[in-house]
Amino acid sequence: MSRAWKPWASLAAAGFPAWQVERLFLAGIVDVGRGRFRIPRRARIYFEEQFPERAAERPFGTLLSAPLPRVLWLGLPYTNLVRLAHSTAVGLADILAAASPETIPVIGVLPDDAPSMRGHEDIEGLVDLAAELDLRLGIIGGDHRATWSMLRTVKSALPGQAVQYVHVDAHHDLYGYRSDCPPDHINHASFLADLLQRGCIDRAVLIGRRDGDEPLRAALDDGLPIHCTATDEAWRPADWSDDAYTDLAVDLDVLDARLAPAVSSPIGEGWTLDALLHKLAKIMSEARIHSCSVVEAGGGSPATTKAALEVIELLGT
Ligand SMILES: [Mn+2]
C-alpha cells in the first residue's frame, strides 16, 4: 500500500472489497479515516471483540462510505474497581447491549478502565473530526473521569478555543480542591477542580447540585469561573458565550436514587427522569452543544440502564 491516503471510492472501483480493508486496518497495516481523522483502531477492535452483535449492525464498510450520523458515540469503560458489583464498565456493557443502533451509533469502545495517554490521543482525534464535520461527539461512560478525558483534550485539539462546560450532577465534583494547585489524585469526585485549575475550561455551570457547600465555596472565593444555577429557568450565566465550544455532561446521580440506584454516590431527593429530560431539552434548545457525556451508570440495574439510554437518545437528537 502507498503511504498516501487513497479515496475509498477509487479502491472500491478497483475491486477492493471492504472486508479486505477492514482486515488490513485491524492488523495495523493501513489507517482508515476522513480528512485528518483516523478511526481509533483500539476502540474498533475492542468493540468488535466484546460487542460483536452491536459492531455487526454498523459494519466497517459503512464507516468507509455511508454518511456519518449527526452524533457519534464512543464507549469509555472507566471504572472504580473498589465497587465491582456496581462497576461502571459493566454499566456501559449493559447500555450497549440494550442500545438501538439506529438511535445510538457507536464508533467504538476504548479498552481502558482508567485515563491513558493513548486514550487521550484517540479522543483528541475524535474531537478534531467532530469539529471538522460539524458532528456532536458523545462519550458513554464509565465513571465521570470520561468527561475529564474529553475536556483535557479539547483545547489541544482546537487551540485558542474558549470552552464552556455544563455539569448536570448531584455533586460539584470539586472534592480535593485547594487553592495552590490542582488535586493530586483525579477521580470522579475531583476532576472538575483539575479542569478549572489547569485552564482546560473557561466557564462551568453547575445544575442539579445538592451536596455540601465545601469546597465549592472555597473555589468560588478563589475566583474560579463557576456558576451555580439556583433556579431551573435561568441556567445560562450572564457571561455565557454563543461562540464558545460547549460540552455537556450528565451524571446519572442527578436523578433520585430510587430511579437510578446503580450510581456510586447516590443522594436522595433527586430529579425524576422526566424532569432531567425536560431540562436537557431546554439546554439543547438554548445552547449549541459540541460534545457530551453520560456517566456513572453502574451495572446490573435495568432502571439505571433505561434512564441512561433515554438520556443518550435525547442527546443524540
Ligand atoms: Mn459526577
Query: Has residue 230 been placed in a domain?
Result: yes
Provide the residue range defining the domain that includes 175. Answer: 72-95+113-315
Q: What is the DSSP letter of 163?
A: E
Domain count, the chain: 1
Tell me the CA–centroid distance for residue 307 and ligand 1, in Å. Answer: 16
CB–CB of 138/72 below 8 Å? yes
Separation CA 33–CA 250 (nearest Å): 29
Query: Has residue 215 been placed in a domain?
Result: yes
CB–CB of 173/205 below 8 Å? no
pTM of the full structure: 0.94
Query: Has residue 224 been placed in a domain?
Result: yes
Tell me the CA–centroid distance for residue 147 and ligand 1, in Å. Answer: 9
Query: Has residue 108 been placed in a domain?
Result: no
Instruction: Give the type of residue at 177.
Output: Y
Query: Has residue 144 been placed in a domain?
Result: yes
**What average pLDDT does the structure give for the chain?**
91
pLDDT of residue 258: 92
Tell me the CA–centroid distance for residue 279 and ligand 1, in Å. Answer: 17
Q: Where residue 204 falls among pLDDT bands split at 50, 70, 90?
A: very high
Tell me the CA–centroid distance for residue 144 and ligand 1, in Å. Answer: 5
Separation CA 236–CA 242 (nearest Å): 11
Tell me the CA–centroid distance for residue 89 and ligand 1, in Å. Answer: 16
Tell me the CA–centroid distance for residue 259 and ligand 1, in Å. Answer: 17
pLDDT of residue 65: 75
The answer for residues whose C-beta is within 8 angstroms of residue 303's C-beta and 6 or more apart is 259, 260, 261, 262
Class of residue 159 by CB neighbours under 10 A (exposed 0-12, middle 13-18, buried 19+) = exposed
Separation CA 84–CA 90 (nearest Å): 8
The CATH code of the domain that includes 216 is 3.40.800.10
Query: Has residue 205 been placed in a domain?
Result: yes
Tell me the sheet residues that pair with 106. 73
Residue 68 pLDDT more than 90?
no
Average pLDDT over residues 120-126: 93
Average pLDDT over residues 65-75: 85
